[in-house]
Structure 1
Amino acid sequence: MTTLKLRKIAIDTYKENVAYLHRDCPLYHTEGFQALNKIEIWDGDGRAPVIAVLNIVDDENIVAPDELGLCERTFRQFGVTEGESVSINHATPPASILAVHSKIAGNSLSADDYLNICKDIVANRYSKIEIAAFLVGTAESGLEREEILYLTQAMVATGETLDWEESLVVDKHCIGGIPGNRTTMIVTPIIAAHGMLMPKTSSRAITSPAGTADTMEVLANVDLPLDKLHSILRHQRAFIAWGGTAKLAPADDFFISVSRPLSLDSSSQMIASILSKKVAAGSTHLLIDIPIGPSAKVKSQSHALKLRKMFEYVGDRMGLEIDVVITDGKQPVGRGIGPVLEVRDVMQILQNDPEAPRDLREKSLQLAGRILEFDPDVRGGEGYKLACNILESGRALDKMQSIIKAQGENTEPALLGKLKHTVTALENGTVEAIDNLQMAKIARLAGSPMDKGAGVDLHKKIGDQVSQGDPLYTIYAEINADFNFAKDSSDKNNGYRIESSNQTSCQT
C-alpha cells in the first residue's frame, strides 16, 4: 500500500475535516481520487481512521506529490506528528444518508434515523454539502413535534453531558436577534446570590455584534476547563463562561457552521439546538426569552405562542422544566451594542447607578424573578420583589465581583474604540422605530466583537422626542477601514424612523 508523509496545512476549515493531495500524486491517478471525495486516513498503529473531504492542489508549496496535507482541525483530531507515514482509502458513504434522502422526499424519520444521522455527522462522515442537504430537507419538509424530540435526543446522546449533582440547576436562554440584550450578566449574579445553582455556558457571536462570552471576556477569563468550572461552581454557585470547551451536543455545532452562512432559520432546528445544549449542560429548569418585534427573529405573537408550545412539549419529555416568557423586541435593549459598551451598561445596573439603562435593568429583574420562582421556597409572584432586593442591596454586585475573581479578572480590559462618529436626527419629531438588524449590522461593521471596544452607543430610544441635529447614536471603532464601513452603512440607512408632525419618514 502506498503511503504518504503527513503535512500540517495552516488553514482553518471551521468544523470540517479537509485533506489536501497534489494532482501529481500517483494515488490521484491510480485510485481515482477526485476533489470533494471523502477519504479515510489511516496511520500504522491500527487506530480508527479519520475521515476528511479531499481537495486537490497544484502547488508544491502547499503539499508535495508524496505528501498528504491536513487542515489544522483534522491534524489535531488525528493526533500524530508531522512527517509520519499514513495511507488513504475511499471512505464508505454513511448508511444514514438514505434517511436524509427520505427526509428530502418529505417523509417523517424515526428516532433511530436521527440518532444515526447525528452519529455520522459527529464522526465527520458527512461533508458540509451533505449536512446542508439534511438541514434544507428538514426546513422544507418540516418536522413533526415527535421528530423535533427525536432530533433533540439524538443531539444530546452523541455528545458529552454534565452532571452538577444537584436537583435544581437553572439556566436562561434568549432566542436572539435583539442587540444589547445582555441580561445574562445581570440575572446570573442575582440568582447565585440567592444560592441557586446557575452554571452559565454562553456562546460567542457568530452573526451578532456580541455574544455573552464576548462581553464577559472584557471582565474575566471565559475559556476555562471543566474542572475549573466545577471548582468555581462549588464556591460561587455560578459562572459565566464560554461553552466551547465541553463537547455538548456537538452535532449542533456542525449544523450552525452550515445554517448560518446559508441564512437557514428553521424554528424546529432552533428548538432542538437550544434544548439539546441545555440538557447536555445539566440544566433541570430553563427560562426561555422570546422577544417579538418587526425586526426581531420572531415577528408575531402567534408565532411566539407556537414556539412556546413546542418548547414545552420537547422540554417536558426531556425532563426539563421550562418557563417561556414573551418580551418586547421592538428595539435594542440597553444603550450599548458591543462588548465594552455592554459591560458599561451591565456594571451600571449592578452598581445601582441612576444613569443605568432602565429597560435592561427592568427586563433583567423580570427574568431573574421568574427564575427565582423555580425555587420551591419562593412563592409565585414574589420572585421580582426578591430580585429587586438582591440587586438594590448590593449582593448581586458582590457576587459578580466574586465570579470575576474566581474566573480570573482581566487586568487589562479593552477600551472604547478611539474612532467615533455621531449620527444625528435629520428632522424634528418622535422616534417611531429602531431597526434591530441595521443597528447590529453597523456595530459589526465597526469591528464588534473582534474589536471589543467597537460598537454603537444609543442616545435615543422609541418614544423619545428629537430635534434636528440631536444625536441618535455614536459609532465607535478601532480600525479606519471598519470605521468607514460602519459610517457608510449608517449614511445609507441609520436604522431610525422619525415621525414628524407632518409625515412619517424613514431616514436613509
Structure 2
Amino acid sequence: MNPPDLRIRRVAIDTWRENVAYLHRDCPVVRASGFQALSKVTVHANGTTISAVLNVVDDERIVQACELGLSEDAFARMNVPEGHAAHVAPAEPPASIGALHRKIGGERLSRDDLHAIVRDIAQARYSKIELAAFVVATNGYDLDRDEVLHLTEAMIAAGRRLDWQHQVRGGPVVDKHCIGGIPGNRTSMLVVPIVTAHGMLCPKTSSRAITSPAGTADTMEVLAEVELPFERLTQIVRDTNGCLVWGGRAGLSPADDILISVERPLAIDSPGQMVASILSKKIAAGSTHLVLDIPVGPTAKVRSMPAAQQLRKLFEYVADRLGLHLEVVITDGSQPIGSGIGPVLEARDVMRVLRNDPAAPADLRDKSLRLAGRVIEFDPDVRGGDGWRIARDILESGRALAQMNALIDAQGRRLQPPALGEMTHEVIAPADGAVSAIDNLQLARIARLAGAPQVIGAGVDLLRKQGDAVQAGQPLYRIHACYAADLGFSRDLAARDSGYTVAATTRPS
C-alpha cells in the first residue's frame, strides 16, 4: 500500500545545510510507520527525492497532520511550490555508512571508500550527526597522506569544474590562499587586483569564515555580491581576468561546504581536511599555480616551524599528484595583520591600501606585495625576483585600485555598503609599557562574540600592535557591535582576558 500524500509546507527555519522534515505527531504516516524524531526519511515529490532528518512536532501552527514541513534547505532542494503533493518513506542508510564506521574504528580508508563518502555527503545523505562523526574521526593527522589525496580527488569529482585553458592558451591560471587563523589577514583582496591588473588569470573562490571573524568572501561581500552562479562567475573572469567570490553558489567542491557547516560549530580545522578543502577548491576553480601562505606563531593555527614543514609536505604531496604547481610561503603569524578584525573593518583596511592612503596598515600592504610578487613570478615572461617590484608599481600607480573597482562593478557593487557597528567599547592598557604579545585566538573570539562575521559591521579595531608603547588607561583596541547583547558578551570576555600582553619597559640606568 502506497503511503498517503501529504501537502508540502515551507517551514522558515534555517537548518544550515541540513535537510529537515517536520511531521505532526498525529500524522497518519508517523503513527503507521513508527517514525521517531531524528529518524532518516526520504521525501518524494514531482520526480525529485531527497533524504532528510525527521523532527516530530506537536503544534499545528508549524505543520498540520496532513502536511509535510520542510526546512529552508530541504524546500530549496525539492524545488516545488508549497501545497504540492509529496510522500515520505523510511530512508535506507547511505551506501558509504559502513566505510564511515570503519574510519570511526581507526581503519585506513581506500580511494573507493572516500569517494563513496563524499558522494553521499554532497548529495545530503548524511545527517549532521553522521557528518560530525566523520569530521571527528578524521581530525588531527588521522588521515594518512594517500587518504588526504583521495579525499581531495573525491571533493573535486563531486562538484563542477572550471576550465580556462582556452583563455590562457597554456599559460598559468593563478591563485593565492592562506590557511587562516590570523585575524585581519585580507591579503587575497589585494593580491587578486594586483595580479589581474598584470594580466594574469586569477579566479579566486573562497569559503566563508569557519572559526575566524571574517573570511575573504565575508569581507568582499561588504563591497560587492559574492554568491554568484556558475555561468555569471565564468563570464566575470573572462571579462576582468579574475573574481573574489564564495565558491559554494557555483557548485565547486560542494561536499566541502557541507563539511564546513559542521567544522564551524565544532571549531575543528584538521590538517587533512584543510588540505583537501583548499586544494579541491583551487583545482575545481581551474587553477594551475598556487601560492600558499602558512603563518606560524604562538597563537596561530600552526605553532612551530616543524609543524609548518610537516603541513607543507602534505600540501606538496597532494598538489604534486594532482598536477597543481604549488609554492608555500611560511610567514609571521605572531599577531593580527592590518588594523581591523571583522568584515567592514577589514574591507576598510583593504581599500586604504588600494588607495595608497597614509592610514593604510603597513603590515597588510607589505605582506600583500610579497605574496603578489610571488604569484606574478609564475608569469614565464617575468624574471625571478622582479615580481615584488612589478606588484609595487601596479599598486602605487593606481592600477590595482582601478582593477578592484572593475571587479566590484562586475560582481555587483553594493550601493549602500554596510556601516560599522555604532555600539563601542574601548579596552585599555592596564599599565605603562609596550605591547609584547597579542593573542590571535582571543582577539578572534572577542570579535566573534561582538557578532562578526554574521553581523557584518561588528568587529575589533586595533589601535596598538606589537612593540607599540602605551600608557596606563590608553586604548589598546575598540570593540564595535550592532546589538547591546553582543557588545556585552565581547566586553565581558575582554575584561577576563584582553588578548594583549603589556610588558613594562626598562629605562637605562
TM norm. shorter chain > 0.5: yes
Matching residue of 2:342: 338
User: Normalized against structure 2, the TM-score is what?
Assistant: 0.94
Question: Pairwise mapping of residues 302-341 of structure 1 onto structure 2 (< 5 A)?
Answer: 302-341=306-345
Matching residue of 1:84: 84
Question: Pairwise mapping of residues 216-235 of structure 1 onto structure 2 (< 5 A)?
Answer: 216-235=220-239
Shift of 1:48: 4.5
Distance of 2:73 and 2:122 partners within structure 1: 14
Confirm or deny that 1:399 pairs with 2:403: yes
Aligned-partner SS, 2:41: strand
User: Normalized against structure 1, the TM-score is what?
Assistant: 0.94
One-letter amino acid matched to 1:145: R
Question: Pairwise mapping of residues 104-183 of structure 1 onto structure 2 (< 5 A)?
Answer: 104-139=104-139, 142-165=142-165, 166=168, 167=170, 168-183=172-187
Matching residue of 2:72: 72
- C-alpha distance 140-99 of structure 1, shift in aligned 2 (>3 A): farther
Worse-superposed segment, 431-440 or 388-397: 388-397
**Any conservation in 2 of the 1:103–1:141 contact (CA below 8 Å)?**
no
Matching residue of 1:272: 276
- C-alpha distance 126-448 of structure 1, shift in aligned 2 (>3 A): closer
Aligned-partner SS, 2:138: helix
Shift of 1:274: 0.9
Aligned-partner SS, 1:299: coil
One-letter amino acid matched to 1:222: V
The gaps in structure 2 that reach 5 residues or longer are none
Shift of 1:344: 2.2
**Any conservation in 1 of the 2:220–2:347 contact (CA below 8 Å)?**
yes
Question: Aligned match of 1:22 in 21, 24, 39?
Answer: 24
Distance of 1:502 and 1:323 partners within structure 2: 42
Distance of 1:466 and 1:404 partners within structure 2: 39
Distance of 1:31 and 1:76 partners within structure 2: 26
Confirm or deny that 1:187 pairs with 2:191: yes
One-letter amino acid matched to 2:110: S
Distance of 2:142 and 2:241 partners within structure 1: 40
Worse-superposed segment, 65-74 or 161-170: 161-170
Worse-superposed segment, 222-231 or 314-323: 222-231
Matching residue of 1:102: 102
Distance of 1:138 and 1:183 partners within structure 2: 30
**Any conservation in 2 of the 1:174–1:288 contact (CA below 8 Å)?**
yes
Matching residue of 2:502: 498
Distance of 1:433 and 1:195 partners within structure 2: 40
What is the count of residue pairs matched by the alignment? 501
Residues 139-173 of structure 1 show CA distances to partners (whole Å, capped at 9, x for unaligned) of 27811111110111011111111122333211111
Question: Aligned match of 2:445 in 434, 441, 455?
Answer: 441
One-letter amino acid matched to 1:398: A
Distance of 1:311 and 1:433 partners within structure 2: 30
Shift of 1:322: 0.6
Question: Pairwise mapping of residues 403-414 of structure 1 onto structure 2 (< 5 A)?
Answer: 403-414=407-418
Distance of 1:232 and 1:66 partners within structure 2: 46
Residues 269-306 of structure 1 show CA distances to partners (whole Å, capped at 9, x for unaligned) of 11111111111111111111111111111111111101
Confirm or deny that 1:432 pairs with 2:409: no
**Any conservation in 2 of the 1:417–1:454 contact (CA below 8 Å)?**
yes
CA RMSD of aligned residues (A): 1.8
One-letter amino acid matched to 2:96: S
Distance of 2:79 and 2:357 partners within structure 1: 52
Worse-superposed segment, 26-35 or 113-122: 26-35
Shift of 1:227: 2.8
Aligned-partner SS, 1:245: coil
**Any conservation in 2 of the 1:21–1:68 contact (CA below 8 Å)?**
yes
Distance of 1:262 and 1:222 partners within structure 2: 25
Distance of 1:341 and 1:129 partners within structure 2: 35
Matching residue of 1:506: none
The gaps in structure 1 that reach 5 residues or longer are 504-508
Residues 336-380 of structure 1 show CA distances to partners (whole Å, capped at 9, x for unaligned) of 112222222212211222332111111001100111111111122
Matching residue of 2:351: 347
Shift of 1:117: 1.0
One-letter amino acid matched to 1:191: V
Shift of 1:452: 3.0
Question: Aligned match of 2:33 in 27, 31, 34?
Answer: 31
Question: Pairwise mapping of residues 340-419 of structure 1 onto structure 2 (< 5 A)?
Answer: 340-419=344-423
One-letter amino acid matched to 2:99: A
Worse-superposed segment, 48-57 or 185-194: 48-57
